[in-house]
Amino acid sequence: MPVDPRVESLLARMTLEEKAGQLSVFADMVRPFAPDVNPEANRRNADEVIEQVRAGRAGTLFNGVGAAQGREIQRVAVEESRLGIPVLLAADVIHGMRTVFPIPLGEAASFEPELARRTARATAVEATAAGIHWTYAPAVDIARDQRWGRGAEGAGEDTFLGCAFAAARVRGFQGEDLRAPDSLLATAKHFAAYGAVAAGMDYNYVEISEGTLRDVHLPPFKAALDAGALAVMTAFNDINGVPASANRALLTGVLREQWGFPGLVVSDYTADMELVAHGYAADDRDATLRAFTAGMDMSMQSGFYAEHLPALVESGQVTLEMLDAAVRRVLSVKAALGLFDDPYRSLDPVREADASHLPAHEALAREAARRSIVLLKNEGDALPLQGGRRIALVGPFARDVDNIEGCWTLFGDRSRYVGLEAGIRAALPPGAVLDVVDGCALETPLDGGVDAAVAAARDADVVLLAVGEPQRYSGEAQSRTQIVLPAVQQALAEAVAATGTPLVVLLRNGRALALEGAVRDAQAILVTWFLGSQTGHAVADVVFGRHGPSARLPVSFPHDSGQQPYFYNHPRTGRPETPQMSEFKARWREQPNAALYPFGHGLGYGRIEYGATTVDAAALAWDGTLAVRASVRNAGTRAAEEVVQLYLHDRVGSRVRPVRELKGFVKLPLAPGESRDVVFELTREQVAFTRADGSFGAEPGRFDVWIAPSAAAGEPVSFELLPPAASLP
């Protein structure tokens, strides 16, 4: 972070109250928007907020929108506050602004970090045009339990994939130069281990080993910071008894001392206040003391820092050095954004009007959406649909446009949303006929709905069954115990399937689901997540074969809800199930220890064949590299894009190692008949982990490696990692 002399000069002149003000973040009641995304706390009206800005007691406002009013807030800060320090305007802009892109989990299914960089860039262009400098994104939490609703906001269950997407999103939001008027400050959140809440219940406690914390949950934060993110948001949960928002070991030890993070740490909404409810702080002042001294620079919405920090400094419980260090970071981020040179950056009403509808972003939304759709199964080549047929589009999502954006979309331009019916109708081939029947509502039956759906199915050559989770089933505070379809939709699916007409499921979901009955047994299943503004067009592109599906699951689809937390890279047990033996083995009475559809799985319209995985040598020298190869061929008649995945497994470790772990991937276009050799280079860094003694590094020994189409496919080949002193045989 660049050092700006104006920061020191301001620090020298600021009162304690003004310093605490720079560390205080309040809801933007001047330009309020969707205030109900957070519980109400410390309510203020617009005049009070402006007065706080004028008094230098509010350095950042969040979740407001609009360039013209933003300019007015900034004018008060710059012209009417004593020191003229510009305000920072923040918002939750998670997966799109006016144009809505797929939920992050869906976009991760593309296995194309570059796509995520592009959608984050487009998001930044639109958000900064609308008077926002700072986004509370990306969420980089690893979600290994699908009951947790906030998996929708991250990149799924895998750390390697999570790191790639975390870095890409930061690069997209922040752009090449943070000072540019269309660069949006990024926040890696929620630090840390928020995705590891017990039983997948939001806000719950986290009991976790140091190794799992370090190897699974922390790396995406490191990746985001290495990509340049200058903000981190703390998590609500405790970790082994210490709330993340007052966790010195994490906020100071890991972030500052180990990683050298120069940026700011902001609390999640009222997370300092919640230390009292956690029973970790006795009262508001104690909560302030604990959060601040642990390393939380900024307090969001509670008002605790504004209220208690000056007195804590006066009493000597907080040192002036510590206070100044936090203020220095916040002011330095403002300087890095160019706010001291141009406080009105990103507050240009003309640009806001120009950016309100950008056709290039609409095209990108369609591209991102169709590249996020996963084809789980395709019996008898049910897809793509051939022309001239009678199609019944059935289900509560058929006509719906209220459940296409997904969670955490505050500012989307709903007038431009394209639902399934509109998209499919627009793409109907000549001679095809479309019948549309709701069948039921999202959670309740409709009078005569099932009968109408069954009649339409009987008349049709194929049914497109649009079922899944309502959008509010995922996101914050939306944990589930049963990750299945609402019963009324399952019943609709059974009735429609009983007609015998081939069924193609268009699944709407914010997490991996346990598919059951007629939905699980349909001829074809497309996982369509929440795809955003261009949902209908994107689904139609895939259904009619204008675009071949190329996405892969970033989360394991289990056989049953009760398997949760189920993730592919689980540690080995002492009694693994084998094809020959399942008695006295690690499995459930009802289900195997496996996924119905594993992580990494997804089909295209080609037919992909993998050659054997080979290694160039039997051993990898400690400082050497080893090439791992396989040939991949499209034996089908249609073009395809294959996500070729590299998995590793450490046979013996000082801590029990995962059954396999993703260590590389590449998306390859393959024309019909085309064959390509894929090569991954391995070094010992890829097999490093937190060892039993707490150190990080590789352990010499034997490893298995796969080049495979999913976490459950392929045959491994093995190699030896030689110890440091050994030379190659």
How near is the Cβ of 235 to ligand NOJ at its closest, in Å? 8
Contacts of 270 (CB under 8 A, 6+ apart): 38, 39, 41, 42, 300, 301, 302
Cβ-based nearer residue to ligand NOJ, 78 or 233: 233
One-letter amino acid for residue 687 of the chain: V
- Determine whether 400 is an active site residue: no
Q: Is 215 a binder of ligand NOJ (CB under 6 A)? A: no
* Helices 113-129 + 359-370 axis angle, to 10: 150
How near is the Cβ of 37 to ligand NOJ at its closest, in Å? 6
Tokens of 668: 């390859």
Cβ-based nearer residue to ligand NOJ, 37 or 201: 37
Cβ-based nearer residue to ligand NOJ, 38 or 317: 38
**Number of residues that this document lists for the chain:** 729
Please choose, from the candidates 676, 705, 498, 713, the residue with its C-alpha nearest in 3D space to the C-alpha of residue 597. 713
How near is the Cβ of 95 to ligand NOJ at its closest, in Å? 13
Instruction: Give how many residues touch ligand NOJ by CB under 6 A.
Output: 9
Question: Which DSSP letter does residue 287 get?
Answer: H
Contacts of 645 (CB under 8 A, 6+ apart): 552, 600, 662, 664, 665, 706, 707, 708, 709, 710, 711
Please choose, from the candidates 225, 105, 2, 52, the residue with its C-alpha nearest in 3D space to the C-alpha of residue 555. 105
Cβ-based nearer residue to ligand NOJ, 37 or 615: 37
* Catalytic position from the list 28, 158, 268, 400: 268
Distance CA 695, CA 571 (A): 19
Cβ-based nearer residue to ligand NOJ, 136 or 610: 136
Tokens of 159: 């750390």
- Out of 18, 28, 92, 699, point to the residue binding ligand NOJ (CB under 6 A): 92
Q: Is 272 a binder of ligand NOJ (CB under 6 A)? A: no
Q: Is 476 a binder of ligand NOJ (CB under 6 A)? A: yes
Nearest residue to ligand NOJ by CB is: 136
Please choose, from the candidates 222, 149, 221, the residue with its C-alpha nearest in 3D space to the C-alpha of residue 189. 221
Q: Is 204 a binder of ligand NOJ (CB under 6 A)? A: no
Contacts of 114 (CB under 8 A, 6+ apart): 168
How near is the Cβ of 125 to ligand NOJ at its closest, in Å? 21
Question: Which DSSP letter does residue 200 get?
Answer: G
Distance CA 169, CA 161 (A): 12
Distance CA 259, CA 257 (A): 6
Q: Is 37 a binder of ligand NOJ (CB under 6 A)? A: yes
Q: Is 34 a binder of ligand NOJ (CB under 6 A)? A: no
Q: Is 268 a binder of ligand NOJ (CB under 6 A)? A: yes
Q: Is 136 a binder of ligand NOJ (CB under 6 A)? A: yes
Q: Which of residues 55-74 bind ligand NOJ (CB under 6 A)?
A: 63
Tell me the Cα Rg of the chain.
26
Alpha helices in 371-516 (DSSP H): 420-427, 449-459, 487-497
How near is the Cβ of 38 to ligand NOJ at its closest, in Å? 5
Cβ-based nearer residue to ligand NOJ, 139 or 640: 139
Q: Which of residues 171-190 bind ligand NOJ (CB under 6 A)?
A: 189
Q: What count of other Cβ atoms lies within 10 Å of the Cβ of residue 676?
A: 16
Q: Which of residues 410-439 bind ligand NOJ (CB under 6 A)?
A: none
How near is the Cβ of 468 to ligand NOJ at its closest, in Å? 24
Q: Is 38 a binder of ligand NOJ (CB under 6 A)? A: yes
Tokens of 224: 């985001």
Cβ-based nearer residue to ligand NOJ, 204 or 356: 204
Q: Is 544 a binder of ligand NOJ (CB under 6 A)? A: no
How near is the Cβ of 299 to ligand NOJ at its closest, in Å? 13
Residue 704, SS3 per DSSP: strand
* Residue ranges binding ligand NOJ (CB under 6 A): 37-38, 63, 92, 136, 189, 268-269, 476
Active-site amino acid positions: 268
